[in-house]
Chain A
Amino acid sequence: MNDMTPNREERVANLKGLGCKRKRVEDARFTQGKGNYVDDIKLPGMLFGDFVRSPYAHARIKSINAEAALALPGVIAVLTAKDLEPLGLHWMPTLAGDKQMVLADGKVLFQGQEVAFVVASDRYVAADAIELVEVEYDDLPVITDPFKALEDGATVLREDIADKKEGAHGPRRHHNHIFLWEEGNKAATEAVISSADVVAEEMVYYHRTHPCPLETCGCVASMDKINGKLTLYGTFQAPHVVRTVASLLSGIDEHNIRVVSPDIGGGFGNKVGVYPGYVCSIVASIVTGKPVKWIEDRMDNLMATAFARDYWMQGKIAATKEGKITGLWCHVTADHGAFDACADPTKYPAGFFHICTGSYDIPVAYVGVDGVYTNKAPGGVAYRCSFRVTEAAYFIERMIEILAQKLDMDAAELRRINFIRKEQFPYHSALGWEYDSGDYHTAWDKALEAVDYKGLRKEQAERLEAFKRGETRKLMGIGLTFFTEIVGAGPVKNCDILGMGMFDSCEIRIHPTGSAIARLGTISQGQGHATTFAQILASEIGISADKITVEEGDTDTAPYGLGTYGSRSTPVAGAATALAGRKIRAKAQMIAAYLLEVHDNDLEWDVDRFVVKGAPERFKTMAEIAYASYNQAIPGLEPGLEAVSYYDPPNMTYPFGAYICVMDIDVDTGVADIRQFYALDDCGTRINPMVIEGQVHGGLTEALAIAMGQEIAYDEMGNVKTGTLMDFFLPTAWETPNYVTDHTETPSPHHPIGAKGVGESPNVGGVPAFSNAVHDAFRAFGLKQSHMPHDHWRIWKTANKLGLHG
């Protein structure tokens, strides 16, 4: 070794591996407008599709007349359900075991539903032509309330299955009923509740909202009739599954289909499912032999593609007089809209809602979820959360607050005495989960101390007195949340989507000169995979992250995987990446042993090289090993240095966190000023603290939106009242408060690098933190529950009902 040889610390730094605040490699192109999104794709001869959509929420279609549209120069075709029927494509299966109309078949069931697909040579002509398609409707009674949908004599919404007594998830008890899904011990829970010291009961509504990614959904379908290959570019969060579905639906052999997800401008669950636009574009391309592009506009996206939430959660929580929780009961009325198109693992029609015992040691619990059809858009996707986990976290964190109120206890203390203790992990919850790891008390104490919780409560009490004396019109609210996420779906034995096990994959090739490419079955939509997966790999194989290309989203090149949603990329594909890296390293060790003329076992790994034990001057770097693998014959070993790993996780991971929000609420205007937001996240091993911080900021901002103003609202006729960004709240920097982030680090015991995932935690924990702050401000006046979103007028209404306007 000479003086130029970097020391160990420098070599570690050069890797830019785990724990490095590496700048995102994607941002060079994104910040310069050089991203390549689906609408940037322009193919020779490309045609454009646009939908005629239903203005009615429920109506029978009497006739569709496309003559005038077809007469418009540039219009190639107008597809209706009748055209798709011979292909068996007028309906398609949903991810939830239901089926969904691709184009309206005899009736429409929600406003914005796809009725006809116009194909034209020009985007503008397509827009003109949809105005010329004449559709005659006979309107039908509209149901937007899931409780009314289940009443006797309610209008039949789904005539196609009106007589079916059995659905994909068991018996249906009413023609607008989809399923009843139950978990836990109902009888035991009800027995505990009936004899408990204290029971708090409340209906907690988590309103309908929408992921609203900045880039809407879209695709370009290109059928090459010469070679029989279909290429489908699109905004797909799960490109490999889309390929399989496209093959099953179209009958085209899967090897003849290539699905490409280019850069994606945010997904948040909105881009997991299969939409009529994809099917119609494929059919139009097959029929015309030309590429067909379909891109939603903002209103299409808000009105018709998958919504999120819409859960009415009736809860009962039982406790001793001292506040020890003894049981939890929950019944959910889940509004699924016109078709059950929830994107959940097949066996879980209510997702992982049964994580709703939260972070607490609750001995017995029961959950029942009734899925219901209404005249609203289908969906029910996991909007920046694992499947229905944000609903579960909101439910339990509201119930805890309501229980604290009933017990006249401090809500922080109530949480503390009920937390699952560190020594109880792995913890088996009453609803069937095995929590892998946690240290809740440490995190909670750190959070409370960081915000000076006692000081805040003192200030709040003083403010309340001042308010009562008429010296101020502002109340102070302290919103507490301790959440436990369940992410990383998931073990193949339990988790599948359309039969595909929810493993994920990574394939690595090391190039002769010591750089590498890694391909994964996931797809980044802004998460920064090209940055962080390279870091995982750098630490495993000793090649700098700067020398590792990460590629995803092209099914012709990437290994099969289930995609990116539900915070599953790091827990599943990240694990595959580490394990594939370890396979590389195992082979590298054999090569190094040959080169150094020692036994494999005489070598030890040191950052970026194998070193002969006890002889630190004798080593081979990974770069040297890579070169050797390509340029010399090594007895007993194949040339080259590649590996692939398909990872089936043994369990979910359970990130957790403590969030505290402090708000000042003007009772006269309903305006809430968020003066402080503290977010402590424990996502296990931290791959890139800067990316984590960015994820937390983004997720909290979406949580802010949901809690404080964002909703998909319908009037009684089923008209969408929030179909544009004027009324659908998407916060800008102006509305966004300052966030203080913090962490503890409790590695996952079963994940190869101990990482748990973080992208969705801030949405899961943020919503109850904001909402609890609003409720807490009014706690002294007896407020139990006021439903989100807490916009100005709803907060004002709360103050008004409590008599605070004199």
Chain B
Amino acid sequence: MIPPAFEYHRPTDIAGALGVIAEHGDEARVIAGGHSLIPMMKLRMVEIAHLIDLQDVADLKGISVGETIRIGAMVTQHGLINDAALSAAAPILREAALQIADPQVRYCGTVGGNVANGDPGNDMPGLMQCLDATFTLVGPDGSRDVPAREFYEAAYTTAREDDEILTAISFAKPAGGYAYEKQKRKIGDYATAAAAVLIEKQGGKITAASIAMTNLSDIPVFSEAAGDALKGTDGTGAALDKAVAAMLADIDPTEDNRGPVEFKKHVAGVILRRAIARAVDRA
């Protein structure tokens, strides 16, 4: 559990970080909160010659809340949870962040690291797909935006190029009801199944529904069909069954110590039902 030797860089701005990447290419990698990368280094599953610590890059911090919400990549889970304006505007973030790891980890773990690493166990990627968020990537050729729903390609493989840094996340202030429901074995665990749900309602009928699932495939699963199944209904009965069936058709869980595929699918259905019920209730 001791990593191989590496050079440590601590730039104070994005340009500085990009400069280290330009100089060392594949041998360099940025580190945010370190709660995924450092264990991988200690297990010697990844070897990194040049580690670029982003914690002194002021431009990557801060939360701005308006009709569009923008969160700097280096905002910690603790920062998310304790931002009153953000919690008022998008309470699903606080609800989800409180289910990530434990307080000690949340002091260090960042939202940018959580979405950029491409770990299927992380909670924020599914949540960001539910919110239809956009990730801002900055590289040698400038800045570009990629929708969260198009960002994930496979486990640990994303649309981010090796010479790009994910700098911010933005999304429209969500309306209606919400729920982030997660089953885990213990505090600090990845989800056995988790569901992010946003529901808008008018006159007792659902007008918009967004559903994304976590740790049930090698990438987060935004289930458009599940959301569509709820539209125009009250979100119960046959519509709910149809939404769950649609979600189950989209996920592709694998067996691990949490249990076999059959169990995970069953729990995913239960978790989604609960999330939808709660979100509808809040809408």
List residues of A whose CB falls within 8 A of some B CB: 123-124, 127-128, 131, 297-299, 668-671, 709, 713, 721-722, 726-727, 729, 731-732, 734-735, 791-793, 796-797, 800, 805
Contacts and interface: CB of A to CB of B under 8 A. Distances in A.
B37 interface: no
Contacts of A796: 259, 263, 266-267
A792 B183 CA distance: 10
A543 to B, nearest CB: 43
Nearest to A50: B2
24 contacts: A123-B2, A127-B4, A299-B1, A668-B270, A669-B267, A669-B270, A669-B271, A670-B267, A713-B257, A726-B188, A726-B189, A729-B186, A732-B102, A734-B186, A734-B187, A791-B185, A792-B185, A792-B263, A792-B267, A793-B259, A793-B263, A796-B263, A797-B263, A805-B266
Nearest to A131: B44
A736 to B, nearest CB: 10
Given A732-B187, A792-B258, 20 more contacts: A123-B2, A131-B4, A131-B44, A297-B2, A668-B267, A669-B270, A670-B263, A671-B183, A721-B257, A734-B186, A791-B185, A792-B183, A792-B185, A792-B192, A792-B259, A796-B259, A796-B263, A796-B266, A797-B263, A805-B266
Contacts of B185: 709, 729, 791-792
A709 B186 contact: yes
A791 B185 CA distance: 8
Interface of B: 1-2, 4-5, 44, 102, 183, 185-190, 192, 257-260, 263, 266-267, 270-271
A227 to B, nearest CB: 34
Nearest to B189: A726
Contact of B258 (A123, A131, A731, A793): A793
Contacts of B1: 297-299
A781 B41 CA distance: 49
Given A131-B44, A668-B270, A731 B257 contact: no
B260 A793 contact: yes
Given A721-B257, A726-B189, A792-B192, A128 B5 contact: yes
Closest 3 CB pairs of A and B: A793-B259, A127-B2, A297-B1
Given A732-B187, A734-B186, A791-B185, A124 B5 contact: yes
B263 A735 contact: no
A729 B1 CA distance: 19
* Most chain B beta carbons < 10 A, residue from A123, A792, A805: A792
Contacts of B188: 726, 732
A547 to B, nearest CB: 40
A229 to B, nearest CB: 31
Contacts of B257: 713, 721-722, 727
A721 B258 CA distance: 11
A299 B190 CA distance: 19
Contacts of B186: 709, 729, 731-732, 734-735
Contacts of B5: 124, 128
* Most chain B beta carbons < 10 A, residue from A722, A731, A793: A793
B88 to A, nearest CB: 27
A115 B271 CA distance: 46
Given A299-B1, A735-B187, A792-B185, A668 B259 contact: no
Contacts of A722: 257
Nearest to A733: B187
A128 B4 contact: yes
A709 B102 CA distance: 19
A407 B270 CA distance: 37
Contacts of B258: 792-793
A800 B2 CA distance: 43
* Most chain A beta carbons < 10 A, residue from B1, B185, B270: B185
A734 B102 contact: yes
A499 B258 CA distance: 45
B109 to A, nearest CB: 15
Contacts of A800: 266
Contact of B183 (A669, A726, A735): A669
B4 to A, nearest CB: 6
A792 B185 CA distance: 7
Nearest to A709: B185
Contacts of B2: 123-124, 127, 297
A433 B119 CA distance: 56
Contacts of B102: 732, 734
A298 B43 CA distance: 11
Nearest to A794: B259
A297 B267 CA distance: 34
Nearest to B1: A297
Nearest to B192: A792
* Most chain B beta carbons < 10 A, residue from A124, A131, A796: A796
A442 to B, nearest CB: 38
Contacts of B270: 668-669
A423 B114 CA distance: 65
A796 B260 CA distance: 11
Nearest to A793: B259
* Most chain B beta carbons < 10 A, residue from A670, A721, A734: A670
B37 to A, nearest CB: 15
Contacts of A709: 185-186
A607 to B, nearest CB: 48
Contacts of A131: 4, 44
A721 B267 CA distance: 22
Contacts of A791: 185, 259
Nearest to B259: A793
A763 B258 CA distance: 25
Contacts of B266: 668, 796, 800, 805
Contacts of A735: 186-187
Contacts of A124: 2, 5
* Most chain A beta carbons < 10 A, residue from B183, B257, B263, B266: B257
A263 to B, nearest CB: 22
A805 B270 CA distance: 11
Contacts of B44: 131
Nearest to A705: B186
A410 B156 CA distance: 54
A729 B185 CA distance: 9
A519 B185 CA distance: 44
B131 to A, nearest CB: 26
Nearest to B255: A793
Nearest to A732: B187
A508 to B, nearest CB: 43
Contacts of B267: 668-670, 792, 796
B1 to A, nearest CB: 4
Contacts of A669: 183, 267, 270-271
A298 B263 CA distance: 30
Nearest to B260: A793
A128 B270 CA distance: 47
A726 B101 CA distance: 11
Nearest to A725: B188
Nearest to A726: B189
* Most chain A beta carbons < 10 A, residue from B4, B186, B259: B186
A180 B195 CA distance: 53
A127 B4 CA distance: 8
Nearest to A727: B257
Nearest to A799: B266
Nearest to A805: B266
A709 B266 CA distance: 20
A298 B39 CA distance: 12
Contacts of A298: 1
A792 B186 CA distance: 10
A713 to B, nearest CB: 7
Contacts of A797: 263
A709 B188 CA distance: 14
A735 to B, nearest CB: 5
